[in-house]
Structure formats: structure tokens, C-alpha cells
Amino acid sequence: MATDGALILIELKRDRTPREVVAQALDYACWVEGLKGNDIAAIYARFAPGRDLAADFQDRFGQPLDEDTLNESHQIVIVATHLDESSERIVKYLGDKGIPINVLSFQVFDQRPGRPPRYPACRVPFKNRKSEPGSGLSADGKIGKNWQSIPSLLGGRC
């Protein structure tokens, strides 16, 4: 969630990304677009039992959650090791048309049997984002300002 109440959809793929991943992310965005404030609060409560979305938003961002502007917009982030040419073309087209869709690419540098993979290098081209970088993207399951926490989703660090 961003400071303006925009929701961030993150589609995580560990291997090469076929163009269907973009379609899947867009399908999720269609679903998210119809969510009302009470729906979002219920989803938050399911993943953060005993917590309150409005209170946590206030704690994290230092401002009250404006339920009137909650989910007025959303952003799509595809996280993958690689995008195929078709997916890159589709994401560029959507971005050029004003759809806030972006890609975070990463490389696996160490994947030994029996050890978790390490992801020390990431590339984050947020050129299609409408809001300022670092304005609220949270990839670690928390409402947050730090988009650099995205690698925590990948089980590693950048």
C-alpha cells in the first residue's frame, strides 16, 4: 500500500516469465479495482490477525488512512528473473498508455542444494510508476515506504 492509499499488486515469478504472467497480473488488477475499503480491511485482518489497517497505516505513514481515497488507484509490479520479449513489449505498451505497471528483475547468484537461494543483485526500473520512488511500496507483507524490501519476498537480499 502506498501513502496515498493506492494498492500495490506484486506478481512474483522465480523463473522465466511467459507473457501469461502479464495477463495474470492484469486479471488481479481487475479484481483489486473493485475492492472497497471494508474488503481491503478484511483482507488485511486475514493476513494480520488482531491488527487494524487504519491504525497500522497511521503508525507507518504518520497520517490517517483516508477511506475515501483508499484504492482510487493501484500499481502492478512483476518480479521475475527475466521477461521474454513479448512480455517486455506488453509492459512497455501498457506503461506508455498510462497503466502503472513495472518490472523488478533479479538474478540468482548462489543456489546450492540444501541452502536457500541468494539474490544479491536486483534491478528496479520503476519508470512507469506515477508516484515517487519509495513512496509506499511494501513487498514484505507490511504497509511500508521502502520498496527496497522487495527482495525479502524472494527469500534473500539485494
The two beta strands, 101-107 and 121-123, are antiparallel
Please check whether residue 1 lies inside any domain of the structure.
no
Please check whether residue 43 lies inside any domain of the structure.
yes
**Structural Rg of the chain based on CA atoms:** 16
Q: Please provide residue 147's backbone torsions phi and psi, each rounded to the nearest 5 degrees.
A: -70, -15
- 30: amino acid identity, one letter: C
Cell 488485511 belongs to residue: 44
* Set of cell numbers at residue 99: 497503466
- 22: amino acid identity, one letter: V
**Residue 135's pLDDT is what?**
36
Please check whether residue 76 lies inside any domain of the structure.
yes
Task: Give the chain's residues under pLDDT 70.
Answer: 14-17, 107-112, 115-158
Contact between 81 and 16 (Cβ < 8 Å): yes
pLDDT digit string, tens, across residues 20-51: 889 999 999 999 999 999 999 999 999 999 99
Please check whether residue 123 lies inside any domain of the structure.
yes
**Domain extent for 107:** 7-154
**Residue 137's pLDDT is what?**
34
Beta bridge partners of 79: 12, 104
Please check whether residue 41 lies inside any domain of the structure.
yes
Please check whether residue 97 lies inside any domain of the structure.
yes
Contact between 37 and 105 (Cβ < 8 Å): no
**Residue 108's pLDDT is what?**
64
Please check whether residue 2 lies inside any domain of the structure.
no
Please tell me the total count of domains within the chain: 1
**Residue 132's pLDDT is what?**
38
Which residue, 85, 73, 91, 104, is CA-closest to 11?
A: 104
Q: 116: left (phi > 0), else alpha (psi -120 to 50), else beta?
A: beta
